[in-house]
Amino acid sequence: MNRTVLWIVFVIAAAAQGASPYAGTQYPPELRPLKHEGRAAHLAAELLARYHYKGIAVNSAFSEKIFDEYVKSLDSEKLFFVQDDIDRLHGYRTRLGDAVLKEDLSVPFAIFNLYRRRATERFAFARSLLGKGFDFQKIESYQYAREKAAWPKTESEMRELWRKRVKNDWLRLKLAAKDDKSIIEILGKRYDNFLKRIRRVKSEDAFQTFMNAYTTAIEPHTNYMGPRAAVEFDISMRLSLVGIGAVLAEKDDYTTIRELVPGGPAARSGQLKIGDRILAVAQGEGGAMTDILGWPLGDSVGLIRGAPNTVVVLDVLPAGVGPDSKRNRVSLVRKKISLEARAAKASVRSVGDGKAIGRVGVISLPSFYEDFAARRRGDPNYRSASRDVQRLLDKFKADKIDSVLIDLRNNGGGSLAEAIALTGLFIDKGPVVQQRNASGEINVESDTQAGLAWDGPLGVLINGGSASASEIFAAAIQDYGRGVIIGEPSFGKGTVQTVVDLDRVAKTGKPQFGELKMTVAQFFRINGGTTQLRGVQPDILFPARFDAKSSGESRFDNALPWAQVKTADYSPAGDLKDRLSTLSALHRARVSTDKDFLTLQEDIAEFRRQREKDRISLNEAERRRERDAQEARLRSRKSQPHPGDYADAAGGEHAPVKDVALQDDGLQPNERNLAKELAAEKVRKNAKDILLNEALNILGDEVELLRTGARLASRVKPESLQVPQ
């Protein structure tokens, strides 16, 4: 380490030690970069410079972007650093890129250590306020949305910000009918848990945070994944893992069973149930037990998973008993677990009324998954989204379904090959998407399989969470005139990523470098446009809770621009223009009198109004008036709650309103009783899905239109026959 870097680290450490708000703060031990992390960072930087779609020059300007992304990732709401910290760090803005190339991560780690110290101070200060109480008659407010706020100038200003933050936490619980003793207990445990999490952070966590700042400084969808994150990504793509078949959660320092996977070793054993807590884990019969109480969930999961057909032994504290109660020793043989909850699912819904009843087959697709490894080794039964959907379509045809709806809401994408294959199920051979690489070369990716799995009426339901591969599929279906696109404008991600195994490149022999997800191309629709920034615009538009500027691709400062290339050589499968005019008019007429849809629109308007605010009152009387008005509005409804029924809990989360108080309970997810949490999830799952129901109505209209032709169109007033723009 040279003298300059030594001086930098010394200055940061000195600043941290000199700024402690009070004596007695217990700081976590400082983290230091591991040797292989510097090598991994350098290798990633070289690959990015050579192969990334967007040209990269590692200079002072790029280093400043890295710095800004890094600080934002550590303290996006400006709750930890003060302006003096930022001023002290300013001299390092232009040096972070050079630190990577020199494999010297001392400065990034020193910044991370300063963040940990500041976070420790803030939560320790929050903890110290609980014995003092608050004056809730005072007229003051708390600014909870702080991303665009200025850094607190002084420690005194930061303490005042945290006083209000804690006061808001207290008031939320007070409004939820908690007494002072319970509030002190809940918040004390909450802040202690934050302090524990800060202390449990490891070098690999700091490294991944910094490397993601480096990669996202280039553009939003280039990411670094450490070894553990890489494993989780691979699991999400192949929809399988080797383990015991239990969904685990961290609850009060316990690794707790949240769900048992049907048919998995845990469920078949009959020895485990929801709410059981795993205290220790051993590898094999007679293996030494490792105590995992208080461990991060990822570390506990890493011990419980393993190779297929091996034995894992669990020391289990049964659900509902005290910590000193008798434990159970459970031995399980690890097996391959299929994650069916994340796979394509089908249902059949009846639509229409009277004699004109149609049946729509709905396929919900959470992601474009594909088992890459199984496909590479030639496994004829490898798992993929398009294969699963084809099986479901075959069943729909056997059941003589009238129409199919593909629900891609919140499908963030996945395999490009799967997007092409899925499109091929609904078109005969032809181009699906165009790709332009960093050299400007354009390749047309096509479906080469003759024939269609489904040639009947088709709808695609999308929203602002539908991205990447979802947009490729929806855009192709729209350009071919093959189906009706319904819903909200999609996310607007028009870039293609490839995943590079850094260990394979470096030939390390063992997983330690992680993986790099790197943007290598931009994709374009076959009509020549791109979904980048603009997304896919539905043929029939639904109201959206979020606008593109706050939740889509356009919110990123360094997103790639919109562009256009030549149209690919393709022939539309149909022309839906006239049909869309009628369907749009029927949709507008129906929702104008549909009570549930009108209520949803009111909820969305209220949600957007709340989002425009960045602060909330800390006066109890005022907050009670606001809460009572909201409860009165919600109680006036006779219909059951639906996805539009959300209370925007400032400083908290968006909670379903069907609760004791119909409002914010003041708790965070890991603080709620597991049984109540699962019951609330069941309520949400079974709630009326108004947008899906209307999409089904639209497809029902289409089925009737195709059956009756002009008779249905004649029911629509001529002036309403307008395609929404």
Is the model's pLDDT at 291 over the cut of 80? yes
Is the model's pLDDT at 513 over the cut of 90? yes
- Residues spanned by CATH 3.90.226.10 within the chain? 341-574
Exposed e or buried b per residue across 9-47, where buried means at least 16 C-beta atoms within 10 angstroms of its C-beta: beebeebbeebbbeeeeebbeebebeebbbbbbbbbbee
Rg (CA), the chain: 28
690-725 pLDDT per residue, tens: 999 999 999 999 999 998 865 555 555 544 433 333
* Residues labelled catalytic: 468, 479, 493
Q: Give the pLDDT mean for 132-146.
A: 95
Domain 341-574, CATH homologous superfamily name and number: 2-enoyl-CoA Hydratase; Chain A, domain 1 (3.90.226.10)
Question: What's residue 712's pLDDT?
Answer: 53
DSSP-derived secondary structure for 405-470: EEE-TT---B-HHHHHHHHHTTSSSEEEEEEEETT--EEEEEE---S-S--S-EEEEE-TT--THH
With a threshold of 0.85, does the pTM exceed it? Answer: yes
Q: Which of 632, 678, 684 is nearest to 658 (CA)?
A: 684
Residue type for 194, please? F
State how far the Cα of 682 lies from the Cα of 692, in Å rounded to an integer.
Answer: 18
Mean pLDDT of the chain: 90
523-575 pLDDT per residue, tens: 999 999 999 999 999 999 999 888 767 789 999 989 999 999 999 999 999 88
Q: Give the pLDDT mean for 312-322.
A: 96
Question: What's residue 567's pLDDT?
Answer: 97
Instruction: Give the architecture-level CATH label for domain 240-338.
Output: Roll (2.30)
Torsion sign across C-alpha atoms 650, 651, 653, 657: negative
Question: What's residue 24's pLDDT?
Answer: 66
pLDDT band at 623 (very low <50, low <70, confident <90, very high): very high
Task: Give counts: helices (H), strands (E), the chain.
Answer: 24, 23
Q: Which of 189-193, 328-332, 704-708 has the lowest mean pLDDT?
A: 704-708
Tokens of 591: 């929702």
pLDDT band at 82 (very low <50, low <70, confident <90, very high): very high
Instruction: Look at 684 and 701; give whichever has higher pLDDT.
Output: 701
Q: Which of 500, 609, 596, 487 is nearest to 538 (CA)?
A: 487
DSSP 314: E
Question: What's residue 227's pLDDT?
Answer: 93
Question: What's residue 683's pLDDT?
Answer: 87
State how far the Cα of 694 lies from the Cα of 680, in Å rounded to an integer.
Answer: 24
Question: What's residue 718's pLDDT?
Answer: 43
Q: Give the pLDDT mean for 147-168.
A: 97
Which residues partner with 459 through β-bridges? 405, 484
Question: What's residue 136's pLDDT?
Answer: 97
pLDDT band at 654 (very low <50, low <70, confident <90, very high): very low
pLDDT band at 77 (very low <50, low <70, confident <90, very high): very high
State how far the Cα of 529 lies from the Cα of 64, in Å rounded to an integer.
Answer: 33
Is the model's pLDDT at 130 over the cut of 70? yes
Task: Please enumerate in sequence order all residues whose Cβ is within 8 A of that of 612, keeping only pairs 6 or more positions apart, or say none.
Answer: none
Q: Give the pLDDT mean for 492-497.
A: 97
Question: What's residue 537's pLDDT?
Answer: 97
Task: Please enumerate in sequence order all residues whose Cβ is within 8 A of that of 453, keeping only pairs 6 or more positions apart, or say none.
Answer: 389, 390, 393, 394, 425, 426
Task: Please enumerate in sequence order all residues whose Cβ is within 8 A of that of 18, keeping only pairs 6 or more positions apart, or say none.
Answer: none
Which residues partner with 337 through β-bridges? 241
State how far the Cα of 461 lies from the Cα of 611, in Å rounded to an integer.
Answer: 25
Is the model's pLDDT at 201 over the cut of 90? yes
Question: What's residue 186's pLDDT?
Answer: 97
Is the model's pLDDT at 647 over the cut of 90? no
605-621 pLDDT per residue, tens: 888 888 888 899 999 99
Is the model's pLDDT at 179 over the cut of 60? yes
Question: What's residue 23's pLDDT?
Answer: 55
Question: What's residue 659's pLDDT?
Answer: 42
Percent of residues, the chain, with pLDDT higher than 90: 79
- Residues spanned by CATH 2.30.42.10 within the chain? 240-338
User: From the CB of residue 390, how many other CB atoms can be counted at a distance below 10 Å?
Assistant: 18
17-58 pLDDT per residue, tens: 544 555 567 899 999 999 999 999 999 999 999 999 998 889
Question: What's residue 607's pLDDT?
Answer: 86
Instruction: Look at 101 and 634; give whichever has higher pLDDT.
Output: 101
Question: What's residue 685's pLDDT?
Answer: 87
Instruction: Look at 24 and 300; give whichever has higher pLDDT.
Output: 300
Contact criterion met (CB below 8 Å) for 624 and 139? no
Q: Which of 301, 252, 254, 261 is nearest to 276 (CA)?
A: 254
Tokens of 563: 């562009």
208-220 pLDDT per residue, tens: 999 999 999 999 9
Contact criterion met (CB below 8 Å) for 451 and 396? no
